[in-house]
Structure 1
């Protein structure tokens, strides 16, 4: 699908883009009609100029002069009307196509596996969805239709010139092949240069996005000067890429301007000699040909400029279609609606790896009964959090099966399955919006009263009500206006109001204050009651009352049982984990 670097034009890609204009066929046809009329009017004005000189000015006929000036004024008004209509509707069509394409791209990315986002820079994806797609609009507003209009105008002018004087036309065409060759060479150079420009733009966006997001780390570790130097280098590369395009433009337009002047000189020289010799050529025809030559070369210069816009749009379109052609979506062929699930879960010989040659989950078997609360514990990298991703089908397992209520996970409709599972992540993400919208995620059917009642049930209403504007308090980007404990409480409430059949808690109480921890413990007890719950435990003291504790090591389940059972195993993995953490917490308290 990708076009080859340096190719002047990719017709397959262009044809694919044109498919997006089909819903706007009437507008497309009107713009094409306006382009034809502009070509016609472009020929009429020089003809009127010739008649004005030969039939009015040379014979000194004032009445004829007024008549021809009136006709020229009418032609000018018609040209303005068609030009206005052409530019407006060409731009309108471009924006409609861009809107549709951006919606399609965003919907496509929303269905990607988490693995795709793990491997893709956010800044690059933002560049594709925003600036690259906006650049595609120039294909229609400044590229495609403008080029077609100019080509029609040039064709009409050449035909008309041959009809009026084939000798003067041949003089004009002496330099024409040179200009066409220079234009073709210019287009190829610019295509390759624009590839570099778009790459550097993506690099800039990625770098800036990551550094702004991680500004706290940059400042804490005193990395400002280092990051400034790196940014200076990336920015310099971006500047140099643009300067290269300016250099090619400077050479090309100066060269074409010189050839245009040479052509006008040849017309005056040859036409003047013919006129002095009292041959058929008139003064009006000579001046008309000077005007026609300028009109012929002007679109050619503009075509090269507009071809720049077209090629930048094509480069951007190629990048966007690369994402649209990426098949990274979770297979969703399930027909069973996951409603009113009991919550029986069975992992049967499940194997999984984020990379094909590195397994993270190594053939686990795990049964969770409906309404049961189980805790999964283990060292970092043991595979605990991966269970969350597999249960919600954010990643596809490599082997084995996962059953919910004795039905294979893949047989459930994906949306209904995920609606039945609520997850409270360790790293809470809040949008730059109100607390209410962060809780409901704009889901229809959840009223403010229901949210407030749920907040009271799990003990967080008082905290939210104390904020300015209460539930309508804007938490800003990533919830920056709230503490980590407050963000965690909001995530608990978000999970609770969705009324899930299965709840997963990636517990995170190690970095919050005692008061918030007490509220979270209360919230945990409330939202896990009566539903299947999986707790990814980081502090073992919080999961003593779990119905079952699952201990994982290196992607395998090594122990299962209740706290009082596992703690009795002298050489057990759970006992070692518990004692190590208890000793660490005791030392911290003594200090």
Structure 2
């Protein structure tokens, strides 16, 4: 066993940062309903791959059951005892042919169970990923990317052994054990009972281990989730870590999480490893009983030597599947621990539900209404209080206010990333809860301050807004927002690989790509959430005209602090603590000398100070 790390997980203060996680070990009995649910993923292959694997398994198993009888009862008690050399020769040839048949059966069994297993794993991972894609923002608010990654990758990978070998091997071992027990009792009931007397004791002790072993594998999954969460966080934030020289502190965090992961595996392996030696001890006891009691029966002419030899073969064969079943049980426990976590995600329903009779919002005009809307992220945090506002078709609306005033929440409700706690959000007079989610979001584009660039080419990233767009349409959208100039200066132009998160691009360049992506989608409603915050003043001036073209004929919601971005808006809503303080055009609000006036004055004072 590997040396235990120096940190004790119970006292590791660095793990406090993971208290938010929803992962926890649970004490449950073995859930057969859940296992049957897992096995349903085998159903699509039950007519082709599974029958071939089972037939191949039965052929090899039957051969293994028949050969000991041919050697003990036929070869020894008949051919050798009767000194029938021709018959013995034929028997040897026959046994050789049977072994060849068993070899062919094993080849087909291994081939098709692996094909079956890989297909099931593929389907399960695809199903889980597709389901997670459809979950609401609330789901991702309470879970780290690393913990989600662990479910889709590690937990499903842990089921691989079950589906590639476990299912058919379990059936093979059950058939083998049943066949051996039946044959032993047919050959000699007395000797069979004497040898198998150890079985009840073995099953009693192994049953006692189940609860602890299962809990241990649950804990392994939880610690792996924490480890992946920290790894994901550390890699994503490596620049911040290095900027503040926190590498040592981050390493200590990792050491603590890694120690817990190590110790969870250590405990699980120790408990699981107790089973195989116990099986081997049972085999040794059975062998002693066979020699002692078998010799007694031979001396009393109760059995023949061939029967004793046959028993010896079957005894060796008997404990092999018992040992495999023990390992299979460990696999089953690991699979149950993983499947609980997988089905927890699959059973998660979107908070933003789509009605069965939801309507398609075709040809959206872009008239938006908030009717007495209240929204809370949780019971203690109300983000919007009784909001009433109207955004007319084709109107450019600006939302301003301090951080936490509710600006982004309004944008999220329009995109229906959340549903209001009270009241209704309407587009073209239709309550968004009565419309299909896709029909709403397909006609809305969102440009965020922290824009996300996917690995791939510039062309692929812009085309993400409209997968059916031609290269010419992508280039035209880029020209409109002023992105074409810097793209053309890149070595491979639009075919330049941007690497993970667009690391080769500046913040401003990434923002311009997001503008081009939004324009290519040709939305009816455009939401710009601090979209020009990462663009320098020179670039901002360049894209002002592009923005005018982009916003023309569309309802636009702009969340920004820069006066230059919002002063030309048709209507400006000033928010504070989830309430609308005032609204109007730039000039109207300046004349009122209210909160907006103070915000503008403060901005000018800051610029003067610079």
TM-score band, normalised by shorter chain: over 0.9
Equivalence for 1:302: 324
Residue 353 of structure 1 aligns to a residue whose secondary structure is strand
Q: Give the CA RMSD over aligned residues.
A: 2.1
- Alignment CA distance shift 1:184-1:285 (3 Å): same
Equivalence for 1:383: 406
- Alignment CA distance shift 1:5-1:456 (3 Å): closer
Asked if the contact 2:465–2:521 (Cα under 8 Å) also holds between the matched residues in 1, the reply is: no
Equivalence for 2:15: none
Asked if the contact 1:330–1:396 (Cα under 8 Å) also holds between the matched residues in 2, the reply is: yes
Segments of 5+ residues of structure 2 without an aligned counterpart are 1-22
Query: Which residues of 2 match residues 391-470 of structure 1 at below 5 A?
Result: 391-441=414-464, 443-470=466-493
TM-superposed CA distance for 1:546, in Å, is 1.3
TM-score, with normalisation over the residues of structure 2?
0.91
Residue 101 of structure 2 aligns to a residue whose secondary structure is helix
1:181-229 deviation digits (Å, cap 9, x = unpaired): 2332333332121111111111111111111111111111212111212
Residue 274 of structure 2 aligns to a residue whose secondary structure is helix
Residue 350 of structure 1 aligns to a residue whose secondary structure is strand
Asked if the contact 2:125–2:156 (Cα under 8 Å) also holds between the matched residues in 1, the reply is: yes
Using the TM superposition, name which of 479-488 and 530-539 deviates more. 530-539
Equivalence for 1:542: 565
Residue 225 of structure 2 aligns to a residue whose secondary structure is helix
TM-score, with normalisation over the residues of structure 1?
0.94
- Identify which of 139, 143, 162 aligns with 2:166: 143
TM-superposed CA distance for 1:318, in Å, is 1.3
The answer on 1:282 being equivalent to 2:272 is: no
The answer on 1:575 being equivalent to 2:575 is: no
1:83-111 deviation digits (Å, cap 9, x = unpaired): 22223222322222222222221221111
Structure-2 separation of matches of 1:87 and 1:584: 73
- Identify which of 472, 479, 484 aligns with 2:495: 472
Equivalence for 1:251: 274
TM-superposed CA distance for 1:119, in Å, is 0.9
Query: Which residues of 2 match residues 80-119 of structure 1 at below 5 A?
Result: 80-119=103-142
TM-superposed CA distance for 1:442, in Å, is 7.2
Using the TM superposition, name which of 130-139 and 426-435 deviates more. 130-139
Using the TM superposition, name which of 331-340 and 256-265 deviates more. 331-340
Asked if the contact 1:345–1:405 (Cα under 8 Å) also holds between the matched residues in 2, the reply is: yes
- Identify which of 367, 379, 391 aligns with 1:368: 391
TM-superposed CA distance for 1:351, in Å, is 0.9
- Alignment CA distance shift 1:31-1:387 (3 Å): same
Structure-2 separation of matches of 1:373 and 1:442: 21
Equivalence for 2:95: 72
The answer on 1:19 being equivalent to 2:34 is: no
Asked if the contact 2:166–2:328 (Cα under 8 Å) also holds between the matched residues in 1, the reply is: yes
- Alignment CA distance shift 1:457-1:7 (3 Å): closer
Equivalence for 2:71: 49
1:287-324 deviation digits (Å, cap 9, x = unpaired): 21111111111111110011111221121111111111
Using the TM superposition, name which of 210-219 and 409-418 deviates more. 409-418
Segments of 5+ residues of structure 1 without an aligned counterpart are none
1:531-589 deviation digits (Å, cap 9, x = unpaired): 2111101212322111111111111111111112212233x10011111111112212x
TM-superposed CA distance for 1:266, in Å, is 2.0
TM-superposed CA distance for 1:451, in Å, is 1.2
Asked if the contact 2:374–2:384 (Cα under 8 Å) also holds between the matched residues in 1, the reply is: yes
Structure-2 separation of matches of 1:191 and 1:87: 28
Asked if the contact 1:128–1:320 (Cα under 8 Å) also holds between the matched residues in 2, the reply is: yes
Using the TM superposition, name which of 347-356 and 98-107 deviates more. 98-107
Using the TM superposition, name which of 358-367 and 77-86 deviates more. 77-86
TM-superposed CA distance for 1:274, in Å, is 3.2
